[in-house]
Structure 1
Amino acid sequence: MSAVPSPALPQQTAAEQVRSVLARALSLSLTLDGRTYDLLGAHTIGARGRITLHPPADTPLTDHLAASPAGGVEARVDLTDIAPTALRDRVRARVALTGRLAPATPGDPGSLRLDLTRVTLRTGTGTTEVAPGAYTLASPDPLALEEAALLTHLADAHPDLVSDLVFLAGSRLPHGVVRALPLAMDRHAVTLRCEYGEGHCDLRLLFPAEARDAAAAGDMVRRLLTAPRCAHHHDHH
């Protein structure tokens, strides 16, 4: 069972989601000519989302690149966004970026830029094509880099708060929840995964105001729990 975000509630655009996934990604897969290479800590994201790869020396990948045309080669970069908490079905999104891979600096094969031609985002709600222009103009969510720490802290140090947050759904949440854990957090909301004996549903609780940093996000969670019940906006599936 997966979430289908309500268009009536503020949420990240698909381009922002992609930029957020890239901002926190530590690894990616690179596919060239049907061969796939897993790279860990070998990429940087620059201004306007420019992706630069720094392939390790003396590996099959560098040999492959050395044999490629001087003008570059078609390539695909794949990233998987995984929830930092130990819940069911931890894959939150998959991003595929297709383009031409060429030296970032002419004559220097140590750094390669990916000139995008296609960006695809896959989540539990379906697949979205993101225009490369929209991707370059978007920014990561301001909580993207701190999200993992925020969610694991909420799950490990404040399980009572998680239970209280689930209670906010009231009768709108089906009975029989056996466990609830934080799934995601952005500037607009916190999302909890409510697990049942079989299956799960996701509960998205909209913050009273946008959270621009980690301190504000913590404050927004507390305000959710102290605000009048009628003031809460949420979406569950």
Structure 2
Amino acid sequence: MGDDTHGWTAAPGAAARARSVLAAAWSCAVTTEGTREEFAGAHTVTDDGRVLLEVPEDSALLTTAICAPRGEPSAVLEFADVAPVPVRDRIRARLWLAGWFSAGGGRLAFQPTRVVLRQPSGAVLVDPGEFATAAPDPLATAEARLLTHLADCHADAVERLTRLVDTGSLHGAVRVQPLAVDRHGLTLRIERVRAGGDVRLPFHAPADDLAELTERMHVLLSQAAAASCTRAPQRRRADGDG
């Protein structure tokens, strides 16, 4: 995809964000009437957002799914979006899917009829139709590896990127870590002794693969270098006024 930015926004919509959480999640919790089970590495997702779950033959969930009235909401699936880089408050979002299971082919297929996405900004009810047709962010499944590499091997680049952050937002900062990345931008977590905040650095155009992401990051770093040059004279003038 080129740099045509028609229809581009600086952040993913709720439906796309929900599908990204689902695409990247490794585990899920399933709650039915009277039972709650945790599953790790047991689910896959279809193109239309249905969840296919492999469960043991002795699982209470299997019995519940077979006996539940067809088409009626009978279960809630919960997915947590955990920041791959160690920070305070690592849960970036939670996704709840309410719906019903059907059994077949040795696994359970879950059809969501209600979708709720909770982020730090609050909870959003996502239209099931929009959820079904939305695509996850193209970087969602690679995000954990990308952010971990950035934090572990390029701490100097993270420091340079803080030059794009308003100096007031950096007041009292004790650590800055990469918190999230998607096709629209990079989010930094600014940690202070007792509190913290997040700052988003939008890309000039969406990145749909790793090559485009590399180019977008280089642009941000170039912008950071330019910002550093403009800040330095201001600091010198401020020092001279003293």
Tell me the TM-score normalised to structure 2 length: 0.84
Instruction: Report which of the two has the higher share of helix.
Output: 2
Counterpart Cα distance in 2 of 1:226 and 1:42: 43
Counterpart of 1:26, as a letter, is W
Number of the residue aligned with 1:101: 101
Corresponding residue number in structure 2 for 1:84: 84
Q: Map residues 203-218 of structure 1 onto 2, 5 A cutoff.
A: 203-218=199-214
User: Which of these two proteins has the greater Rg computed from alpha carbons?
Assistant: 2
Which among 127, 130, 135 is matched to residue 134 of structure 1?
A: 130
Instruction: Report matched runs for 1:1-237 at 5 Å.
Output: 10-65=10-65, 68-69=67-68, 71=70, 74-103=74-103, 105=104, 108=105, 110-227=106-223, 228-229=226-227
SS at 1:48 equivalent: coil
SS class of match (1:71): coil
Greater shift in the superposed pair: 42-51 or 57-66: 57-66
Query: What number of residue pairs does the alignment pair up?
Result: 218
AA aligned to 1:168 is: L
- Are the structure 2 counterparts of residues 194 and 69 from structure 1 closer, same or farther at C-alpha, using a change threshold of 3 Å? closer
Given residue 75 of structure 2, which amino acid in structure 1 is its aligned partner? A
TM-score, normalization: structure 1? Answer: 0.86
Moved more, 18-27 or 163-172: 163-172
Q: CA RMSD in A?
A: 2.0
Question: Which ranges of 4 or more aligned residues in structure 1 deviate by more than 6 Å?
Answer: none
How big is the shift at 1:50? 1.7
Deviation at 1:60, TM superposition (A): 3.8
Q: Unaligned 5+ residue runs, structure 2?
A: 1-7, 229-242
SS of corresponding position for 1:15: helix
CA distance in 1 between partners of 2:160 and 2:116 (Å): 36
Identical amino acids, percent of aligned pairs: 41
Q: Could you list the runs of 5+ residues in structure 1 that have no partner in the other structure?
A: 1-7, 231-237
